[in-house]
Amino acid sequence: MARTVAWVRDRVRAHSQRFERSIPLIASENLLSPYAKELMISDFHSRYAEGLPGERYYEGNEQVDEVENRCLELARRLFRCSFADVRPISGTVANLAVLKALTETGDLVGTSRLADGAHISSAGFGAFGLRGVKPVYYAWDEERMTIDVPRTREILRAVRPKVCLFGLSLFLFPMPIAELRPTLEEIGARGWYDGAHVLGLIAGGEFQDPLHEGCVVMSSSTHKTLPGPQHGILLGETNDPEVVKKLQGGAFPGVTSNHHLNEMAALTVSLAEHLEFGREYAQRTVANARALASALHERGFDVLAEGLGFTRSHTIAVRVEKEGGGESAAKRLADAGIITNKNLLPGDKSPRHPGGLRLGSPEVTRVGMGEREMVRIAELFDDLLHKGRSTEEVAQGAAELKRGFTTLKYCFGAGEAAYRYYDLVGRDPS
């Protein structure tokens, strides 16, 4: 068994070394700061704290309560809202908490289709199905990659869903919440925003402000454009104490027991860092995404939403059917040291064999890359997928580019190694 321990540690080390020499373009991934990472292995990991601060079911939580209260304070400050709950342990769990709080089995909930960019939690085989709610799909404007407002108004008035979910997994542009708000008020539907992908952009003032545009609650993960731990959060702007009570009950005991206190502590640090560095980080993340999209377009790639500047977020969508499809292109790029993911695009039928790639700029921005590096990344795409350069040659180019960008920026302790494998034991257990 000691050999198994050594083997696992070796595999983790190999993984870290792979990413140290690769170009990471997954839109849903980011890197923890050294101070946040330290808290992930603290004694908070080993403890329980069910309930709210000051109202726990376990003793020994005095310091936990202090940290969680600070976490809630920072969250409310960062998002200029009246309510926060950091007990969901992931974005999907946060979504389940909202569904538990605001819906009953059989309710209709407005949402987008998966092929239009929605997250799997809003599908029948995801959180929607688990809660037993029925999706009402918005009309979609494929050219603008957003909701078709006039047609969606007609759908909402005809069907009258109880809740309307805004938010995507392929999230290029702000959602038209303000435009649809009068219709939601007319039919008595509550607005709900899934901000998982764009949370850090919202906090940095670079996207939209859903809680002040018409949504009563925002659910989110905390590790994408907000570079925190893999955790969840609920945020709200409401004067209705009954809604707050339902959301808190949705989080606990609804969908969580203990809420991973080490992650909560790391999130506290990440929120403090985003208050300090988040505005500049968000600006550069969006600028890098737009620069990468433009550079790929100039090299003959079919980047969606050209007429709108490709994106206003950290994400771009590229249709790669002529390059062999999303599945093939993503595998070839990964073999060449460029990490992406295949993705459904409007019109696609199979999530296993989609026609697109989803690319994101959060991690390359986090390690200090800028618009010049985005052009170089586009050249590597072109070399591999259009010019027929070998996998080995492109991988060498990717590693050369990455060599100058392996330390963290936009955090306390900036300059620390981003991908280092920390050997905590210090000896071979065999």
Mean pLDDT of the chain: 95
Query: What pLDDT was estimated at residue 430?
Result: 47
Position 429 scores a pLDDT of: 45
> Strands 140-141 and 146-147: what pairing?
antiparallel
Residue 183: which of 217, 210, 158 has the closest Cα?
158
CATH 3.30.300.30 fits 36-271, yes or no: no
**Once rounded to an integer, what is the mean pLDDT over residues 30-43?**
96
Tell me the pLDDT tens digit for each residue of 113-135. Answer: 998 989 988 888 888 998 999 99
State yes or no: pLDDT of 421 exceeds 80.
no
| Residues 32/252, Cβ–Cβ less than 8 Å | no
**How confident is the model over 355-373, as a mean pLDDT?**
98
Q: Where are the domains of the chain?
A: 36-271
Residues 6+ apart with CB under 8 A from 424: 41
Q: Which residues have C-beta within 8 Å of that of residue 338, sequence separation ≥ 6? A: 22, 23, 25, 377, 380, 381, 384, 394, 398
Distance in angstroms (rounded) separating the CA atoms of residues 296 and 377: 9
Residue-wise pLDDT for 5-22, tens only, equals 999 999 999 999 999 999
pLDDT digits (tens, 9 = 90+) for 197-250: 999 999 999 999 999 999 999 999 999 999 999 999 999 999 899 999 999 999
Average the pLDDT over 391-415 and give the result.
97
In this prediction, residues 256-282 reach a mean pLDDT of 98
Binned at pLDDT 50, 70 and 90, residue 423 comes out as low
